[in-house]
Amino acid sequence: MLGPAVERLVPHLVVADAGAAIAWYEAVLGFELVALVPHPEDGRVLHAELRGHGGALQLADDHAQFGTRLASHGAPRPIMLVLESPRARELHARSLAAGARQLAPFGPAAHGAEHGQVLDPHGCEWTFIHRLHEIPSDDMERRVDEMVARRAN
């Protein structure tokens, strides 16, 4: 019997090796695999769902005939995954130790948080955020203006 309907947003990633990505997301980021549907002929992942950190993530290998396609080579990544956690610094460090490439070091951000960014070995960009306190919108705008001005100099 189905439970009550739940409304949620679930990112769906298409990667070159979904099996390796699943293993990485489990071991490094602590996700749990809850569903796996392999292609009956070649074993590539048609659908997988992982859960953790209060949400879900779906994955598949490239299967153009089923509508899951990798981005064209050199095309910009259309999504950045943001994981808010009090363990953000640890997750950033674990990602780097497990082969992710650092895009931004972990440190203070203008929006009242600490954060760092990585590109995982499967081509997905992650931002790990530890929110320290809320900042009013006008104060955040001032901080961002100051940050942009510093970078321009």
Query: Would the CATH topology of 1-70 be identical to that of 78-153?
Result: yes
DSSP states along 52-79: ETTEEEEEEE-BGGGTB-PPPTTPPPS-
Would you say domain 1-70 falls under CATH 3.40.50.10490? no
Q: What is the pTM of this model?
A: 0.76
- 78-153 CATH fold: 3.30.720
Q: Which residues have CB under 8 Å from 151's CB, separation 6+?
A: none
100 Cβ contact partners less than 8 Å away, ≥ 6 residues apart? 28, 118, 119, 120, 121, 126
Render each residue's pLDDT in the chain as its tens digit; 153 residues.
Answer: 556 655 677 888 888 899 999 999 999 999 999 999 998 888 899 899 999 999 999 999 987 776 667 766 555 566 788 898 999 999 999 999 999 999 999 998 766 789 999 999 988 889 899 988 776 666 666 766 666 677 677
Domain regions of the chain by residue span: 1-70, 78-153
Taking the C-alpha atoms of residue 37 and residue 29, their distance in angstroms, rounded to an integer, is 21
